Amino acid sequence: MRSHRIALIPGDGIGPDVIEAAWKVGEAVAAKESFALEPTRFPWSCEFYAETGAMMPEDGIEMLRRFDAILLGAVGWPASVPDSVSLHGLLLPIRKAFVQYANIRPHRLLPGVEGPLKAEGFDILCIRENTEGEYSGAGGRIHQGTVNEVAVETAIFTRAGVERILRYGFEQARLRSGRLASVTKSNAQKHSMVFWDEVTRELAKEYSDVEVTSYHIDAMAARMVMAPQSLDVVVASNLFGDILTDLGAAIQGGLGFAASANIDPTRSGPSMFEPVHGSAPDIAGKDIANPLATIWSLAMMLDHLGESAASERVMGAMEAATARGIGVRPGSHTTGAITDAVLNAIEKD
């Protein structure tokens, strides 16, 4: 029997709620499709930090390396650990260490979900650079606490990094409508973003079948609200992609629906799948978090593992549930009720 080893990192806040829900769906679909998912749970979180002084053990990355994929809930409990410490101690090092350079985030309305826009029928695939750029972590502070204090945060754009994420964007565009939107701010940021635009033009010659348009981030933000149907594959740097994908989540009805895959397309290490939303400490453990973003992320994980039939089953079951009005509005149903609706749809399928 085919088997996949999965590292589960529920993390903080609603992370455990949504991972538990998604994992039930994973087990159900694996049984249907006759493969096995072998889970190993890692308690790495802000609670783990309180006990050990670190978000994960020193050899945490090495422990994860032997897995086929990682499914992560959420990281962050700012009341006890500053976000800058918890994120740089767990989520961001995993993305970088396993060179998960493509952060893939689909934005479309599930059936029955009413977004805040009049527009319907959009289907945007955001591809966010995930290992460098504005979130490289390079920089420092001097003269702290004095009037002469200086803080420097250096964005790093390497040719290898920019080229591989753009190439991934072109490839995805080829698989979809053949249209790619590349997002920069090259009118104001005259080094890194002009460089990104240049690499885009160079690659465009290799992908003459793809129609590529360069947008500035501010114009793209407006376009995603005013004309989301005009977009297909959108590729952006780490910071710009981060912001655009919360906007994408908003137009698809909220963070409760937004899924993501942190992919290493070379498959040299495990890729990681996680909802776009954070740990939402205020609603943790209350059985009200929407698990659909994590269930959708699970579907992306199954597809990545080569279980495309299982992935389609999960998507179909989610869509059957939302089409019946389950989980379509914040607070409309409990985490358990939404999960059960998806499980029922899988059973009936």
Residue in this structure with the two tokens 């949504």, named with its chain if needed: 18
Cβ-based burial of 222 (10 A; exposed 0-12, middle 13-18, buried ≥19): exposed
**Whole-number Å distance between alpha carbons of 81 and 99:** 26
Handedness of CA 81, 82, 84, 85 (dihedral sign): negative
By a kind-dependent CB cut-off of 5 to 8 A, residue 87 interacts, out of Mn ion, ligand IPM, none, with ligand IPM
Q: From 129-137, 198-206, 209-217, 240-248, give the range in contact with Mn ion by CB under 5 A.
A: 240-248
Check residue 247 for interaction with ligand IPM (CB under 6 A).
Answer: no
- The owner of tokens 């990281």 is 75
Q: Is 274 in the site for Mn ion (CB under 5 A)?
A: no
What is the smallest separation between the CB atom of 274 and Mn ion, expressed in angstroms? 11
H-type alpha helices, 207-334 = 217-226, 238-251, 292-304, 308-323
Backbone angles phi, psi at 82, to 5 degrees: -55, 140
164: enclosing H helix or E strand = helix 159-175
Rule CB under 5 A: say whether 242 interacts with Mn ion: yes
Q: What values do phi and psi take at 335, rounded to 5?
A: -55, -45
Q: How far is the CB of 311 from Mn ion (least distance, A)?
A: 24
Residue nearest Mn ion by beta-carbon distance: 242
Tokens 């059985």, located at residue: 287
Nearer to ligand IPM, 192 or 237 (CB): 237
Interhelix angle 335-348/292-304, nearest 10 degrees: 40
Least Å from the CB of residue 246 to Mn ion: 6
- The 71-90 site mask, x for binding ligand IPM (CB under 6 A), equals ----------------x---
Nearer to ligand IPM, 7 or 210 (CB): 7
d(C-alpha 169, C-alpha 180), whole Å: 7
User: Is residue 97 at the binding interface for ligand IPM, with CB under 6 A as the rule?
Assistant: no
| 30 vs 253, beta carbon nearer ligand IPM | 253
Q: Is 134 in the site for Mn ion (CB under 5 A)?
A: no
Report the candidate in 296, 218, 221 with the shortest Cα–Cα distance to residue 255: 296
* CA angle at 274 for the pair 271 and 277, rounded to the nearest 5°: 150
68 touches, from Mn ion, ligand IPM, none (C-beta below 5 to 8 Å by class):
none
- Shorter beta-carbon distance to ligand IPM: residue 103 or 342: 103
DSSP 8-state assignment for residue 304:
H
Question: Which C-beta is closer to ligand IPM: that of 110 or that of 261?
Answer: 261
Minimum distance, C-beta of residue 202 to ligand IPM, in the bound complex (Å): 27
242 binds ligand IPM (CB under 6 A): yes
**Residue 264 found at the interface with ligand IPM (CB under 6 A):** no
300 neighbors 104 (Cβ within 8 angstroms): yes
We find the least distance from the C-beta atom of residue 230 to Mn ion, in angstroms, to be 24
- Which residue ranges make up the site for ligand IPM (CB under 6 A)? 87, 242, 276, 278
- Which residue ranges make up the site for Mn ion (CB under 5 A)? 242
